[in-house]
């Protein structure tokens, strides 16, 4: 029997998830169509430079999903399922105070860590977990009931976890197991028809809509599936022209004349979806919930820690300017700050050590001995290709969460939050959560070492 590799399983899962989500949220199909139109126009307009940050084939196939779970045990199961697909936890994001208004979750992203694997199938899953013992959100009494509720529900059938473990051990599955695994995995993230306990949901919603979405129901579901687009401002305009209500802005870096860096994201507003509700008297009646939205993103160059500090400082500067002149447009202020504070070319980012690049040899005869990488690139001896940012941004993530909530989070700022960090998460998962910066730095180092060794030969 044929063996299906983790990469093939990942590609099949991404496709089945898209089919399910597209059936459930038809506006997603519009988003994908518009993204494809925009990508085709950018390609026609810019030619080869449109593919500077990834081939059109890769960009078109690229997706990230978002899911939310309630407990460490549930997160461990998620890690097995995505482990079977060759996806590993990368990055730790604390969204509890990443933005003006708080979301009671911490997150990581499951994704391939090997650049070749990412190129073969670029699928990731942004995964959030409720922090039930954070007193700023949950009283001891509510925490106890919430944890009791979470501990008795089963999000993932035992057979799915058994097959996941088998796939991890064998680095793939035979056809029969693969079919079964993919069905169980896709079903686990489909919207459930199980009635929602109205009173319990409402009680959690009074604290946080995200807490209700996670802990107020007996199943989980995919929240969104995000395609990648080459011009997010154009996509925003075209979606609005299609009559789709978008959130107020694009999160992350502004549109500006220099190179795209990190990640820009926007979304269409969460739609009302039909769900069944169970009342206190046991009767079941239809109603609706607004929790799922459609997100889209544009990716740019991965920044080094120095570049990331620069980014954070520029974002803070924009906030500061806007605080004193609230009528100014964020887009204009941001573009001004960026033009002043960030090099306007890839070479500038490289020279200042702000961006990550891979290197290859272009012309050995142009190499001056002892020159640094930037000088070797300028002399034409080396070619530098930007490394694309494959991860997420906590402030943007919190902003995306927030702009899709219709109720404010109630929280008690006097209380101390529970400590959570990448080490805590690694302990929970029994595997280390990779630091994105380490992955980019390693990739850069390996290519530079190989290129320098070739020049020295």
Residue ranges in contact with ligand OOG by CB under 6 A: 66, 68, 126, 128, 223, 265, 295, 392, 396-397, 400-401
Spatial separation of the C-alpha atoms in residues 281 and 173, rounded to whole Å? 47
Binding-residue pattern over the window 220 to 239 for Ni ion, x denoting contact by CB under 5 A: ------x-------------
Give the shortest CB-66-to-Ni ion separation in angstroms.
4
Assign residue 346 a region: left if phi > 0, alpha if psi is -120 to 50, beta otherwise? Answer: alpha
Q: Which residue, 377, 392, 369, 398, is CA-closest to 444?
A: 377
In the window 51-70, what residues touch Ni ion (CB under 5 A)? 66
Identify which of residues 29 and 218 has a Cβ nearer to Ni ion in the complex: 29
Q: Which residue, 171, 140, 147, 141, is CA-closest to 3?
A: 171
**Residues in binding contact with Ni ion, number by CB under 5 A:** 4
391 binds Ni ion (CB under 5 A): no
Cβ-Cβ contacts under 8 Å for 310 (sequence gap 6 or more)? 303, 341, 342, 354
Could you say which of Ni ion, ligand OOG, none residue 155 binds, taking C-beta under 5 to 8 angstroms by partner kind? Answer: none
Is the Cα torsion angle 87, 88, 90, 94 positive or negative in sign?
positive
CA distances from 108 to 165, 190, 364 (A): 20, 21, 42
Angle between helices 175-188 and 6-24 (to 10 degrees): 40
Mark out the alpha helices in 216-260 (DSSP H runs): 232-241
Could you say which of Ni ion, ligand OOG, none residue 440 binds, taking C-beta under 5 to 8 angstroms by partner kind? Answer: none
**Which contacts (CB < 8 Å, 24+ apart) does range 313-320 have?**
313/341, 314/338, 314/341, 314/342, 315/395, 317/341
Could you say which of Ni ion, ligand OOG, none residue 68 binds, taking C-beta under 5 to 8 angstroms by partner kind? Answer: ligand OOG
Identify which of residues 291 and 382 has a Cβ nearer to ligand OOG in the complex: 291
Could you say which of Ni ion, ligand OOG, none residue 392 binds, taking C-beta under 5 to 8 angstroms by partner kind? Answer: ligand OOG
Give the shortest CB-158-to-ligand OOG separation in angstroms.
26
Give the shortest CB-224-to-ligand OOG separation in angstroms.
6
Identify which of residues 265 and 443 has a Cβ nearer to ligand OOG in the complex: 265
Q: Helix, strand or coil for residue 405?
A: coil
Give the shortest CB-222-to-Ni ion separation in angstroms.
11
Could you say which of ligand OOG, Ni ion, none residue 128 binds, taking C-beta under 5 to 8 angstroms by partner kind? Answer: ligand OOG
What DSSP state is assigned to residue 2? P
Choose, by CB under 5 A, the member of 62, 177, 231, 295 that binds Ni ion.
295
Give the shortest CB-101-to-ligand OOG separation in angstroms.
14
Contacting positions for Ni ion (CB under 5 A): 66, 126, 226, 295
């Amino acid at each position: 029997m044929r063996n299906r590799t983790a990469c093939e399983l990942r590609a099949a899962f991404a496709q089945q998830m898209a089919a399910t989500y597209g059936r459930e949220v038809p506006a997603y199909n519009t988003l994908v169509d518009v993204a494809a139109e925009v990508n085709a126009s950018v390609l026609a307009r810019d030619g080869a430079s449109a593919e500077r940050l990834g081939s059109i084939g890769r960009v078109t196939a690229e997706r990230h999903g978002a899911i939310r779970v309630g407990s460490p045990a549930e997160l461990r199961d998620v890690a097995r399922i995505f482990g079977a697909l060759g996806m590993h936890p990368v990055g730790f994001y604390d969204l509890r105070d990443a933005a003006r208004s708080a979301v009671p979750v911490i997150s990581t992203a499951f994704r391939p860590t090997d650049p070749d694997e990412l190129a073969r199938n670029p699928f990731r899953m942004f995964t959030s977990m409720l922090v039930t013992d954070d007193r700023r959100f949950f009283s001891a009494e509510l925490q106890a009931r919430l944890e009791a509720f979470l501990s008795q529900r089963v999000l993932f059938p035992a057979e799915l976890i058994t097959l996941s473990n088998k796939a991890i051990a064998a680095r793939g599955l035979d056809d029969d197991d693969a079919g079964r695994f993919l069905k169980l995995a896709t079903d686990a993230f489909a919207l459930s028809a199980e009635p929602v306990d109205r009173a319990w949901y409402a009680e959690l919603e009074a604290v946080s809509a995200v807490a209700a979405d996670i802990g107020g129901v007996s199943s989980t579901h995919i929240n969104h599936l995000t395609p990648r687009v080459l011009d997010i401002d154009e996509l925003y305009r075209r979606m609005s022209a299609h009559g789709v209500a978008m959130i107020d802005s694009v999160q992350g870096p502004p549109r500006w004349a220099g190179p795209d860096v990190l990640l820009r994201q926007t979304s269409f507003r969460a739609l009302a979806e039909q769900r069944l509700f169970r009342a206190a008297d046991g009767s079941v009646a239809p109603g609706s919930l607004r929790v799922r939205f459609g997100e889209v993103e544009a990716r740019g160059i991965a920044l080094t820690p120095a570049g990331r500090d620069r980014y954070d400082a520029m974002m803070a500067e924009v906030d500061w300017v806007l605080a004193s002149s609230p009528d100014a447009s964020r887009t204009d202020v941001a573009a001004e700050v960026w033009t002043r504070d960030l090099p306007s070319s890839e070479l500038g980012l490289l020279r200042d050590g702000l961006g990550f690049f891979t290197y290859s040899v272009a012309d050995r005869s142009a190499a001056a001995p002892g020159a640094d990488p930037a000088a070797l690139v300028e002399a034409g001896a080396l070619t530098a290709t930007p490394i694309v940012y494959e991860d997420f941004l906590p402030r943007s993530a919190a902003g995306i969460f927030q702009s899709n909530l219709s109720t404010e989070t109630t929280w008690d700022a006097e209380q101390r939050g529970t400590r959570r960090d990448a080490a805590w998460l690694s302990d929970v998962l029994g595997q280390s959560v990779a630091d994105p910066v380490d992955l980019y730095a390693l990739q850069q180092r390996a290519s530079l070492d190989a290129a320098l060794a070739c020049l020295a030969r």
